Amino acid sequence: MDWTLNAAQLERVKSGGIVAEGEVTPDNTVADVRAAIRIAASPEQVFRTLTDCVQALKFVPHLKRCNVIDTASDGGWQDVEQVVDYGWLAPRAEYVFHADYTRFQRIEFSHLRGDFHENQGRWEFQAIHGGQGTIVVYQARVAPAFYVPRWLMRMMLKRDLPDLMRGLKSHAEAARPDAATTGSRTSPAR
C-alpha cells in the first residue's frame, strides 16, 4: 500500500481538485482507497483538525461516535474507538484502531479489534507555500467483517471518499491556527 501521486494527479491537486480512487477486490472482501487534496492551512492545523474527535464527528461521513481510549504520555500514539452507521444500507460498525503520530507529518493507523478484518493506512501532510498550505495524501486498506455488496462499496468510495476530503479541507481552513485541541483526538480513517 504505497501510493505516490503521478504528475497529472499532482497538478490536479495543486490546482484545487481532489483525487479520490479505489478498488474493491472481486470477492468483495477488501477495498483499497487513495485520495489527495490541497488545503489552505498549515500541516499543523490539518493534523490538529484530523486528530480531534469533536471535529471528526462534524466532517467524517457516517461517523457517529469517536472516543480516545488510550494515549501515549508523549502524545505519539492513541487507541481510538469509533462507530460508523451507514443507515439501512449496511450494518453499523464498531471498531478500535491504533494511530501512530509523526506530528504534523504523518498518521499511520492499524486495526486493533471490532467489525473489520483489516483497517490500516496512513495520512501524510506535505507543506507547500512556505508552510501556509498542505497537500494531504490518504490511503487505506479496509476489509469489513460483515457482508457489503460490491455496488454499495463502490458507491461509498465514489461519494464518501471525496466528501471526507472536502470536509477535512473545510474544517481545517476554517479553524484558527492558534486554536487549542480539545484533547479528544483521532484520525478519521475507517
pLDDT at 26: 78
**Residue 17 above 90 pLDDT?**
yes
Q: Is 7 exposed, middle or buried (0-12, 13-18, 19+ CB in 10 A)?
A: exposed
**pLDDT-derived band of residue 24, with 50, 70 and 90 as boundaries?**
confident
The secondary structure of 107-162 as a DSSP string is: EEEEEEEESEEEEEEEEEEEEEGGGTEEEEEEEEEEEESS---HHHHHHHHHHHHH
CA distance 98 to 10: 29
Greater model confidence, 90 or 161:
161
Q: Is the pLDDT of residue 28 over 80?
A: no
pLDDT above 80: residue 116: yes
Q: What is the mean pLDDT of residues 17-46?
A: 92
**Of 45, 94, 44, 51, whose CA–CA distance to 72 is shortest?**
51
% of the chain beyond a pLDDT of 70: 91
What's the grid cell of residue 71?
Answer: 494515549
Q: Give 41-81 pLDDT, tens digit per residue.
A: 999 999 999 999 999 999 999 999 999 999 999 999 999 99
Sort 68 into a burial class: Cβ within 10 Å, 0-12 / 13-18 / 19+: middle
Which residue from 53, 120, 118, 49 is spatially nearest to 81, judged by alpha carbons?
Answer: 53
Q: Which CATH superfamily is domain 7-174 in?
A: START domain (3.30.530.20)
Res 183: pLDDT? 42
Helix H or strand E encompassing 55: helix 53-59
Kindly report the pTM of this predicted structure: 0.89
**8 Å CB contact between 149 and 1:** no
